[in-house]
Amino acid sequence: MFERFLKLSLLVCLLGGALLAEAAPITVTSARVWPSNDYTRITLESAQPIKHTMMTLKDPDRLVLDLENVDLGATLKSLSDKISINDPYIKQVRVAYFKPDVVRLVVDLKTEAKPSFFSLQPAGEYKYRLVLDVYPAQDPLMAALQERENPQENSGTGTSETASTESATGESGGYVPPEKTTESAKPDVSPDNTKKTATGGQRTLIIAIDAGHGGEDPGARGARGSHEKNITLAIAKKLKAKIDAEPNMRGVLTRDGDYFIPLNGRVVKARKLQADLFVSIHADAFVSPSARGSSVFALSERGATSAMARYLAKQENESDLIGGVSLDTKDPYLARTLLDLSQTATINDSLKLAKAVLGRLGEINTLHKGSVEQAGFAVLKSPDIPSILVETAFISNPEEERRLNDAAYQNKLADAILAGIKRYFTSNPPLAKSKVVER
């Protein structure tokens, strides 16, 4: 009798527990918004995965997201306050219960958009994430390029509203084929392009400057609390200003704000711009706080040149997991497979560029190692653009973290990188740029 009672109570407990577990609503613990001209991202984080659906509605343009079995807590309620009035794509977000167990988010858009709504497994410090990426209807990079090619047709800020007309070549947001790489077709991001080319008589060299990490991916963190993503952007902006001040040179940032770009996206951006060089800027951490010094890396197709190089490449390549890339849809403008071509020639040029930059960095900082290192960095995989990754210093070293935050030292780093680039071009004139046929 007693045994039966025990069994029965156990059953009741199990059933009750199961029902309770299923019924307990999930709390969104963090809501983050990352606005940018490229796209705006909303991230919702929770301890458990959330079932979700999305609808796209027109007149007016809006997105409807339903989150199942979610508690409409303070974090979700505060989401509408986090939308900036200057957000390029999102007008406002409204949050309310649609049904007793379904929270509905209505995202009112400022313009027609291409949304991508996906979930991410826990990664880094993050738990489960739901991510909504709102892309403009037209690739803003291509719109900006077209605007420069046809300034009389398009004027304004380069947003989708100002550059929606197709160019004379019939391109409507597609890739600029490398066959178009002639001196006259070389895109320049500056309105004073004519002045620059007229004085030098040489085509403008495009340097893609890649500020490592960004947005959801903070990169490494120093003991004083600095984030690598902010330091890399500060140095990248200084480098761009210095490059732009050079005759016949133009710097283009892969990101100009605090938002995430996938590693492949950085490569694709540089190729769309037909960049002559690609320089990725970092300030990573190592397990030991005593690790110090600058390093410059090139791609390796056959393993890493040292344990440190292997470690850093692994850290860097995890950026997409932390930053959050959808496995199915991805960024509609950047989802491109990389060409499967031999990179030997480009790696040789990358090594020359890396050596020139390392030499200059050695004049302002200790070098972690006296030679260029190589590892399988995904961000360096352009088959036709010499690409380097500069580890300016270790953010995990307290003394180097202090200097990395110092504007004067950031300027010194930018000066050294530019001096290395100029030295590279002196012995490797850009006319020999190889052309790759897109397949």
Choice from 38, 284, 400, 401 touching Zn ion (CB under 5 A) = 284
DSSP string over 310-339: HHHHHHHHTHHHHHT--SSS--TTT--PPP
Give min distance, CB of 366 to Zn ion, in A: 19
324 backbone dihedrals φ, ψ, rounded to 5°: 95, 100
Q: How many DSSP H helices and E strands does the chain contain?
A: 11, 15
Give min distance, CB of 352 to Zn ion, in A: 23
Compute CA distances 224 → 213, 217, 229, 400, 404, whole Å.
Answer: 19, 18, 14, 11, 11
Q: 173 vs 265, which CB is nearer to Zn ion?
A: 265
Secondary structure letter of residue 30 according to DSSP: E
Give min distance, CB of 376 to Zn ion, in A: 15
Beta-bridge mates of residue 169? none
Give min distance, CB of 350 to Zn ion, in A: 18
**For residues 151 and 153, what is the distance between their CA atoms, to the nearest angstrom?**
5
Q: 231 vs 275, which CB is nearer to Zn ion?
A: 231
Compute CA distances 261 → 144, 209, 216, 252, 393, whole Å.
Answer: 18, 13, 10, 15, 22
Span of 18-26, 274-282, 321-329, 423-431 interacting with Zn ion by CB under 5 A: 274-282
Q: How many residues does the chain have?
A: 439
Among 153, 114, 152, which residue's Cα sits nearest to residue 135? 114
Choice from 282, 292, 352, 412 touching Zn ion (CB under 5 A) = 282
Span of 95-103, 127-135, 283-291, 414-422 interacting with Zn ion by CB under 5 A: 283-291
* Contact status: 251 vs Zn ion (CB under 5 A): no
Q: 147 vs 258, which CB is nearer to Zn ion?
A: 258
Span of 109-117, 179-187, 281-289, 412-420 interacting with Zn ion by CB under 5 A: 281-289
Secondary structure letter of residue 203 according to DSSP: P
Structure tokens at 276: 């002559």
Q: What is the x/- site pattern for Zn ion, positions 69-108, by CB under 5 A?
A: ----------------------------------------
Q: How many residues bind Zn ion (CB under 5 A)?
A: 4
Span of 48-56, 136-144, 282-290, 348-356 interacting with Zn ion by CB under 5 A: 282-290
**Non-local CB neighbours of 419 within 8 Å, separated by 6+ positions:** 360
Q: 137 vs 291, which CB is nearer to Zn ion?
A: 291
Q: 72 vs 291, which CB is nearer to Zn ion?
A: 291
Span of 134-142, 179-187, 280-288, 358-366 interacting with Zn ion by CB under 5 A: 280-288
Structure tokens at 69: 């079995």
Q: 212 vs 386, which CB is nearer to Zn ion?
A: 212
Residue pair 240/273 in contact (Cβ under 8 Å)? The answer is: no
Of residues 184-223, those binding Zn ion (CB under 5 A) = 212, 219
Give min distance, CB of 284 to Zn ion, in A: 4
**Amino acid of residue 201:** G
Give min distance, CB of 244 to Zn ion, in A: 24
Secondary structure letter of residue 218 according to DSSP: -
Structure tokens at 261: 């770009």
Span of 8-16, 284-292, 339-347, 416-424 interacting with Zn ion by CB under 5 A: 284-292
Interface positions with Zn ion (CB under 5 A): 212, 219, 282, 284
